[in-house]
Structure 1
Amino acid sequence: MRRILFLFALVFGFQASLFSQEKKPIVILISLDGFRHDYVAKYQPENLSRFIAGGTQAKSMVPSFPSKTFPNHYTIATGMRPEHHGIVDNSFYNPEKDLVYSLGKRELVTDGSWYGGTPLWVLAEQNGMRSASYFFVGSEAAVQGVRPSEYFDYDGRVPNLTRISKAFEWLQQPDSLRPQLITMYFSDMDDIGHRFGPNNEAQISTRLKQLDHELGALFEGVKSLNQDVNIILVSDHGMAEVTLENRILLDQIVAGIDARVVNSGALAHLYLKDPKEKAKVLKELRKKTGEFKILDPRDLEYYKDLDSYGDRIGDILILANVGHYLVDDQNYLEVVARRMRMDGSDARGEHGFDPQHPDLHAIFYANGPQIKEGLTIDSFDNIHVYPLICKILGLPVPSDIDGKLEVLEPILKD
Structure 2
Amino acid sequence: MKKVCLLLLSVLVFPLVSSAQENTEPIVLLISLDGFRYDYVARFQPENLSRFIATGVAAKSMMPSFPSKTFPNHYTIATGMKPEHHGLVDNSFYDPEKDQTYGIGKKELVQDGTWYGGTPLWVLAEQNNIKAASYFFVGSEADVQGIRPSYYYAYDGGVSNLTRVTEVFKWLELPQAERPRMITLYFSDMDDVGHRYGPNNEEQLSAALERLDRELGALFEGLKSIDMTINVIVVSDHGMADIPVDNFLNLNELTRNIPGRVVNNGALAHVYLENEKDKKKVIKALEKSAMPIHVTDVDHKENYQDLMYKDRIGDILIIPDRGYYLAWGSALPRIRQNAESLGTEVLGEHGFSPAYKDMHAIFYANGPAFKTGLEIETFQNIHVYPLICKILGLPIPEDIDGKLEVLEPILK
Using structure 2 for the length normalisation, give the TM-score: 0.97
Matches within 5 A, 1:156-167: 156-167=157-168
Query: Structure 1's 293 and 71: CA in aligned 2 closer, same or farther, altered over 3 A?
Result: same
How many positions carry a matched residue from both structures? 411
* Native 8 Å contact 1:9 1:15 kept in 2: no
What are the ranges of 5 or more consecutive residues in structure 1 without an aligned counterpart?
Answer: none
| Aligned counterpart, 2:33 | 32
Are the aligned partners of 2:233 and 2:365 in contact in 1 as well (CA < 8 Å)?
yes
Task: Name the counterpart of 2:95.
Answer: 94
| TM-superposed deviation, 1:12 | 5.7
Alignment of 1:273-288 (within 5 A): 273-288=274-289
For 1:89, give the aligned amino acid.
D
Alignment match, 1:189: 190
Cα pair distance change 1:337/1:175, threshold 3 Å? same
Partner of residue 237, structure 2: 236
Instruction: State the shift of 1:184 in Å.
Output: 0.8
Give the Cα separation in 1 of the matches to 2:385 and 2:161. Answer: 24
1:315 aligned partner: 315
Shift of residue 276 of structure 1?
2.4
Whether the aligned pair in 1 keeps the contact of 2:9 and 2:218 (CA below 8 Å) is no
Displacement of 1:319: 0.8
Helix, strand or coil for the counterpart of 1:231?
A: strand
Aligned-residue offset at 1:2:
8.3
Distance 1:176 1:253, change over 3 A: same
Matched residue SS, 1:395:
coil
Q: Deviations over 1:161-210 (max 9, x none)?
A: 00001001111111101111000110000001001111110000000000
Cα offset, 1:100, TM superposition: 0.6
The SS at the match of 1:24 is strand
Does the CA contact (< 8 Å) of 2:61 and 2:362 recur in 1?
yes
Change (3 A) 1:304 1:196: farther
- The letter for the 1-side match of 2:30 is L
- Name the counterpart of 2:153: 152
Structure 2 residue aligned with 1:43: 44
CA distance in 2, matches of 1:139, 1:192: 25
- Give distance in 2, aligned partners of 1:79 and 1:208: 28
Deviation at residue 10 of structure 1 after TM alignment = 5.2
**TM-score normalised over the length of structure 1:** 0.96
Contact 1:4–1:217 at 8 Å: present in 2 too? no
1:345 is the counterpart of 2:351 = no
- Structure-1 separation of matches of 2:40 and 2:158: 24
Q: Deviations over 1:201-242 (max 9, x none)?
A: 000000000000000011111011111100000000000011
Query: What's the RMSD between the two structures over aligned residues?
Result: 1.6
Letter in 2 for 1:38: D
Report the equivalent of 1:367. Answer: 366
Partner residue of 1:400?
Answer: 399
Q: Could you tell me which residue of structure 2 aligns to residue 387 of structure 1?
A: 386
Q: Which moved more, 1:333-342 or 1:208-217?
A: 333-342
Aligned to 1:325: 325
Unmatched tracts of structure 2, length 5 or more: none
Partner of 1:69: 70
What is the identity percentage for the equivalent residue pairs of Structure 1 and Structure 2? 61
Q: Residues of 1 paired with 2:202 and 2:301: CA distance?
A: 35
- 1: CA distance, partners of 2:96 / 2:73: 22
Alpha-carbon contact 1:21-1:175 (below 8 Å) kept? no
Q: Could you tell me how far 1:345 is from its partner in structure 2?
A: 1.7
| 2:7 alignment counterpart | 7
Greater shift in the superposed pair: 232-241 or 337-346: 337-346
More displaced stretch, 337-346 vs 378-387: 337-346
CA distance in 1, matches of 2:300, 2:348: 28
Greater alpha carbon shift after TM alignment, 344-353 vs 128-137: 344-353
343-352 or 154-163: bigger deviation: 343-352
